[in-house]
Structure 1
Amino acid sequence: MVIKPRLKGGLALTNHPIGAKEFVKRQIDYIKSQDKYTGPKKVLIIGSSSGYGLSTRISLAFGTGAETIGVAFEKGVEGKRIGSAGWWNTIAFTEAAKKEGIPAKNFIGDAFSNEMKDEVIKYIKEEFGGKIDLVIYSLASGVRTDPKDGKTYRSALKSTKEEITGPTINFEKETMEETTMEIATPEEIKSTVKVMGGEDWKLWIEALSNANVLADGFKTVAYSYLGPKVTYGIYKDGTIGAAKRDLEHTADILNDYLKEKVNGEAYVSLSKALMTRASAVIPIFPLYAALLYKVMKEKGIHEGTIQQKHRLLKDMVYGNNRVIDDERRLRPDNLEMREDVQAEVEALWDKVTPENFKEVSDYKGAREEFMQLNGFDFDNVDYDADIDIEELAKLHP
């Protein structure tokens, strides 16, 4: 089988297993080029297969030698379906880690379920030394079944105040076009908070604590995003914003809880705008990211996902260069939110049109990053080569 990219708007319908291996390798190579740092020894990453979670796992494993457990909901080869990008990322990471003697265990399934929590806790107790130092919560899901009542909730990317119309990038058509975000119903707001808020994070930490598997000084960090004024309609004033505020409130609750239990701490970390599989489908965001990339690259301060998470972990979570705001949020987005950066992005926002967006923005860089998330556009991968899908089907994370 020859695998070619197929897109639908900001969604990739195919991915390339060999490209995924290169995607992971380049991140590992970056970490190996950096100085080692002192960090946690035993880590659980909930949402470990792509984006922020994958980069975090790579930084910790190859930057500190940490043993990691990854939890992700991914699919492998099914008939002619090649499997998800996260499936191949996880296989590539695990192979690379084990090659260097770094233990890595994967749990593929529903992180929201009680069964998954029980499985992970059993593994920690019986095969992972009994205690963990760090939990990273980096889930990006649009659907969650509440384990308490069995009800399934679906998130909605909508406004909570007024209908919003703005420009975005369609990667499939390679065009800039108008998109409209509708007003959410109260039920949609509630559902989005149930899926993307802090409830499941809290359930995980409480389950781990009750099982007595948290080490003294344990830390937990949940990943989030705020963004600038041009994205406030989506994030701050949108259904996502309601969920993010719930996540931040949960961090404060967990911080007090962990301080008492294990002299621990809990934080929300606000990430820099980056192209991830989740962010690529959010209206307006791809255009903002492309404009931001242009400005930050010109200033020499652009970071990809691996650089961003490595700096967060090395300098802020386990270092002495912690950037934290008045609401107790870690701010590795501090370079993005610099006044000079945002002023230049806003100026470009006023100039960009459907005719000039590829020149005014770093469209090329944003699209390349999006394609590489799915294993495409690497200059050293032969995309005309025949892939043996039967051999691939034998591989498992």
Structure 2
Amino acid sequence: MIVAPKIRGFICTTAHPEGCAKHVAEQIAVVKKGGLMENGPKRVLVIGSSTGYGLSSRIAAAFGANASTIGVFFERPGEDDRTATAGWYNTAAFEKEAKEAGLYARSFNGDAYSDAVKTEVIAAIKADLEQVDLVIYSLASPRRTHPTSGEVFKSVLKPIGEIYTNKNLNTTTGVVNEISIEPAQGDDIAQTVAVMGGEDWEMWMDALLAADALAPGVQTVSYSYIGPEVTWPIYKNGTIGKAKEDLEMVQRKLDEKLAPLNGKAWVSVNKALVTQASSAIPVVPLYISLLYKVMKAEGTHEDTIEQMDRLFRDRLYSGNPQPDEAGRIRVDDWEMKPAVQELVGKRWTEVNTDNLAEYGDFAGYQSSFLRLFGFGLEGVDYSADTNPNVPVPSIGAAAA
């Protein structure tokens, strides 16, 4: 079939297998350029490994440290007349590249919040690797079914206390408009914390500890975002911000639990980037468009792979993690430089539909979004017939 992008709101309902493979290959090339890390991880579990920061973490570990990796995700495989999700194709491409490089790679497709998937993954760790020395937690989901109670929680992106009104970018039309978001009601905060907070991260680490599946000196990292004040009402001070506060609380608890292993838990605050998760957050796409313009002009722009490569090389495995006053690793440091934020803030007050191309990089935003789904990559013939039914070698063609 001929595969073209079909965009609905902030999601693309199709993905291109060859395009996703090219995107993965480009990320691998970035990591290889830096050479092998001397003291990098060797046996890595990535929970949420198929897209965005999770995928880039898996690539950074495998091709920057020759690490064996196990990835966990929830993706839809392709069929003869329907494409898979991008994460499925990304994983198929990653496993193919890993095999050619002689690296162990095994993947699990299922609900990472469930006890069943935890049990299955831990059994694989024990059988194949014995223990892991790095656990990356990078899940992003709008809902979560609690493994004990069976209750289904749904997260919301809302301010707290009062209506939030600010500029917004319609990513379909390129129009800069104004958006108003109603504040959280009822149990919105608790629901969001249940999905995007630290409970499941802690459940994973507890299960790994109980199974003696964590190596001495193990590190675990979960990802967060803080951003500039203009986004705080919808992010840092909104419902999702409460979830991130819970994540940091869990990080401190995990530090205590890992102390007997001389282990360490981290929250890494990463840069604002176009990901499947960030595209859904109001206000953020306009901020990202302005940020891209400034950082590209400055020569400091990074995508997810450059961010994760820097996290691994310069922080986690450098002997100098450089935590901030709250104990977080900050690889959003280049984004949050005062000069960058001052210029982005100035342009925020002035930007409108007519001057968006001058002040922002909406074309770059759109390109980054399409690349997530394998579109717009050089060297891929998008007019050619392609087979959407691509297997992930360690899983097969069908979902687990």
TM-score by length of 1: 0.96
Amino acid at match of 2:248: E
Q: CA deviation at 1:323?
A: 2.6
Partner in structure 2 of residue 358 of structure 1: 357
Q: CA deviation at 1:392?
A: 6.6
Partner in structure 2 of residue 153 of structure 1: 153
Q: CA deviation at 1:9?
A: 2.3
Partner in structure 1 of residue 60 of structure 2: 59
Q: Higher relative CO (CA 8 A, sep ≥ 6), structure 1 or 2? A: 2
**176-185 vs 26-35, which moves further:** 176-185
Q: Deviations over 1:183-232 (max 9, x none)?
A: 11131110000000000000000000011111111110001111111110
SS at structure 1 position matched to 2:243: helix
Q: Deviations over 1:41-67 (max 9, x none)?
A: 100000000000000110110000000
Partner in structure 2 of residue 7 of structure 1: 7
The reply on whether 1:334 has 2:333 as its aligned counterpart is yes
SS at structure 1 position matched to 2:4: coil
Kept after mapping to 2: 8 A contact 1:323/1:332: no
**236-245 vs 379-388, which moves further:** 379-388
Q: Deviations over 1:67-118 (max 9, x none)?
A: 0000000010246321100000000001000111010000000000000110
Residues in 2 aligned to 1:320 and 1:220: alpha-carbon distance in whole angstroms: 15
Residues in 1 aligned to 2:63 and 2:293: alpha-carbon distance in whole angstroms: 30
SS at structure 2 position matched to 1:22: helix
Amino acid at match of 1:237: N
**27-36 vs 49-58, which moves further:** 27-36
Q: Percent identity?
A: 46
Q: CA deviation at 1:391?
A: 6.4
Two-structure CA RMSD over aligned residues (Å): 1.5
* Count of residues paired in the alignment: 395
- Segments of 5+ residues of structure 2 without an aligned counterpart are none
Amino acid at match of 1:14: T
Amino acid at match of 2:163: E
SS at structure 1 position matched to 2:374: coil
**206-215 vs 165-174, which moves further:** 165-174
Kept after mapping to 2: 8 A contact 1:10/1:170: no
Residues in 1 aligned to 2:51 and 2:73: alpha-carbon distance in whole angstroms: 9
Partner in structure 2 of residue 179 of structure 1: 179
Q: CA deviation at 1:390?
A: 5.3
Q: CA deviation at 1:161?
A: 2.1
Partner in structure 2 of residue 84 of structure 1: 85
Q: CA deviation at 1:396?
A: 6.4
Amino acid at match of 1:286: P
SS at structure 2 position matched to 1:377: coil
SS at structure 1 position matched to 2:332: helix
Q: CA deviation at 1:359?
A: 2.2
Residues in 2 aligned to 1:371 and 1:212: alpha-carbon distance in whole angstroms: 41
Change in 2 beyond 3 A, CA 1:334/1:390: closer
Residues in 2 aligned to 1:108 and 1:366: alpha-carbon distance in whole angstroms: 29
Residues in 2 aligned to 1:22 and 1:168: alpha-carbon distance in whole angstroms: 32
Residues in 1 aligned to 2:320 and 2:302: alpha-carbon distance in whole angstroms: 17
**Mapping of 1:182-331 within 5 angstroms?**
182-259=182-259, 261-331=260-330
**Mapping of 1:11-160 within 5 angstroms?**
11-37=11-37, 38-78=39-79, 80-128=81-129, 130-160=130-160
Residues in 1 aligned to 2:66 and 2:5: alpha-carbon distance in whole angstroms: 35
Change in 2 beyond 3 A, CA 1:389/1:16: closer
Amino acid at match of 1:226: I
Change in 2 beyond 3 A, CA 1:278/1:290: same
Change in 2 beyond 3 A, CA 1:391/1:195: closer
Q: CA deviation at 1:236?
A: 1.2
Q: CA deviation at 1:321?
A: 3.8
Amino acid at match of 1:148: T
